[in-house]
């Protein structure tokens, strides 16, 4: 098996389920870029996860290409990192089934994202939505990944992945003597790992919120970015004197966190600069720093979106590389379990 590459492996994924926003960028994609030089990096477009809630088929197809364009526009270099589509590697679904048989129902019952997404309509949620974290474990374990950069909302899924890997290793320890799956480590950076809605500092910024005023999307023009930030909910006070004061002011905390992530400055430094100032003045500077960072990414994103043949070529090459990395693992899993 060719799993002894000297570089450790990074794996992560983004769902093609709507317009990407600065939460996805700051919480995940920006960190993918920083890892590609030092790790064997595998970045997936997780379309099988997207269909756990209904997707318009034509839009899904477009969204898959858009996530690839967003990865590249954000700085992921397809010559360094493997960019590919989950459903093009059937082993993801195959291993997910095997892991469905490893994971316990009690473990999945504790997953808060299912509770939030299914809401009161639990009985009507798809079985896929419930089993979603097992598919995510499959994505990660199929590549014998060591490190998984994600936003804070994925923490519980990562813990489940580690539990599944451990149980699989224990259940089948007699067959090989040695643990088969490495136990993956989450990488959740503090700056930007939890970007909140621009309209409600208690809610996560999300692709699925019906109002696009709650999020800054990758596709937004400079004017839209300005307008959304100027209209973002704040509170009636001046900006605080100390970072601790932000704890009871979620909207202020969110805007200052976004500034800090884009400007690459600590919260302390940002608070010290704007303390006692009006929100209107701060928001103007926040809009400037967001436009400065996101403007070039947006322009490149739009250019790449129009260059479909290039994106398709990247994804074809990615599929080949992903197959090379995952085929030995799924073959070995089947041998270990006694299948086929």
Binding residues (CB under 6 A) for ligand TYM: these are: 11-15, 23-24, 26-28, 46, 49, 136, 139-140, 148, 150-151, 153-154, 157, 193-195, 204-205
**Residue closer to ligand TYM (CB basis): 129 or 238:** 129
43 versus 273: smaller Cβ distance to ligand TYM: 43
Q: Angle at the Cα of 315 (from 66 to 292), degrees rounded to 5? A: 40
Say if residues 300 and 306 touch (Cβ distance below 8 Å). Answer: no
Q: Which residue is nearest to ligand TYM (CB)?
A: 27
To the query of whether residue 207 is one of the catalytic residues in this protein, the response is: yes
With CA atoms as reference, report the closest residue to 253 among 59, 212, 242.
Answer: 242
- Ramachandran angles phi, psi of 145, nearest 5°: -75, 150
- CB-nearer residue toward ligand TYM: 196 or 311: 196
Cβ atoms < 10 Å from Cβ of 2: 8
Smallest distance, Å, CB 18 to ligand TYM? 9
The catalytic residue among 61, 120, 178, 207 is: 207
CB 44 within 8 A of CB 12: yes
Query: Which tokens hold the place of 275?
Result: 């303390």
**Phi, psi values for residue 202, rounded to 5°:** -100, -10
167 is catalytic: no
And the tokens for 173?
């320890």
* Min CB(174)–ligand TYM separation in Å: 29
Q: List the catalytic residue out of 8, 124, 155, 204.
A: 204
Task: Identify the CA nearest to 84 among candidates 28, 16, 148.
Answer: 16
Q: How far is the CB of 50 from ligand TYM (least distance, A)?
A: 8
User: Residue 322 Cβ, how far from ligand TYM at the closest point, in Å?
Assistant: 13
In angstroms, give the least distance from the CB of 93 to ligand TYM.
13
User: What dihedral angle (degrees, nearest 10) is formed by the CA atoms of 299, 301, 305, 311?
Assistant: 130
Residue 148 or 291 having the CB closest to ligand TYM: 148
Catalytic entry in 8, 80, 117, 305: 117
Q: Which is nearer to ligand TYM, 11 or 181 (CB)?
A: 11
The conformation of residue 235, written as its DSSP 8-state character, comes to -
**DSSP states along 288-317:** HHHHHHHHHHHHHHHHHHH-HHHHHHHHHH
What residues act catalytically?
117, 204, 207
């Amino acid at each position: 098996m060719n799993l002894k590459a000297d570089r450790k492996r990074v794996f992560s994924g983004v769902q093609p389920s709507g317009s990407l926003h600065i939460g996805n960028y700051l919480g995940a994609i920006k960190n993918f870029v920083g890892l590609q030089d030092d790790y064997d990096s595998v970045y997936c477009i997780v379309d099988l996860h997207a269909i756990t809630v209904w997707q318009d088929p034509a839009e899904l197809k477009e969204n898959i290409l858009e996530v690839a364009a967003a990865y590249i526009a954000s700085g992921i270099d397809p010559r360094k990192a493997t960019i590919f589509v989950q459903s093009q590697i059937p082993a993801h679904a195959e291993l997910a089934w095997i892991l469905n048989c490893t994971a316990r129902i009690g473990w999945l019952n504790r997953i808060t994202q299912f509770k939030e997404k299914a809401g009161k309509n639990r009985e009507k949620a798809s079985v896929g939505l419930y089993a979603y974290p097992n598919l995510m474990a499959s994505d990660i374990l199929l590549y014998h990944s060591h490190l998984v950069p994600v936003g804070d909302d994925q923490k519980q899924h990562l813990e489940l992945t580690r539990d599944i890997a451990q149980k699989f290793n224990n259940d089948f320890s007699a067959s090989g003597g040695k643990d088969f799956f490495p136990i993956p480590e989450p990488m959740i950076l503090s700056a930007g790992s939890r970007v909140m809605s621009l309209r409600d500092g208690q809610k996560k910024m999300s692709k699925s919120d019906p109002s696009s005023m709650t999020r800054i999307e990758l596709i937004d023009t400079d004017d839209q970015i300005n307008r959304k930030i100027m209209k973002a909910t704040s509170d009636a006070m001046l900006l605080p004197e100390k970072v601790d004061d932000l704890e009871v002011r979620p909207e202020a905390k969110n805007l200052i966190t976004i500034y800090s992530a884009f400007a690459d400055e600590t919260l302390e430094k940002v608070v010290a600069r704007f303390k006692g100032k009006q929100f209107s003045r701060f928001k103007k500077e926040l809009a400037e720093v967001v436009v400065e960072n996101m403007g070039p990414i947006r322009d490149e994103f739009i250019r790449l979106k129009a260059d479909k043949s290039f994106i398709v070529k990247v994804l074809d090459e990615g599929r080949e590389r992903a197959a090379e990395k995952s085929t030995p693992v799924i073959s070995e899993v089947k041998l270990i379990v006694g299948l086929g």
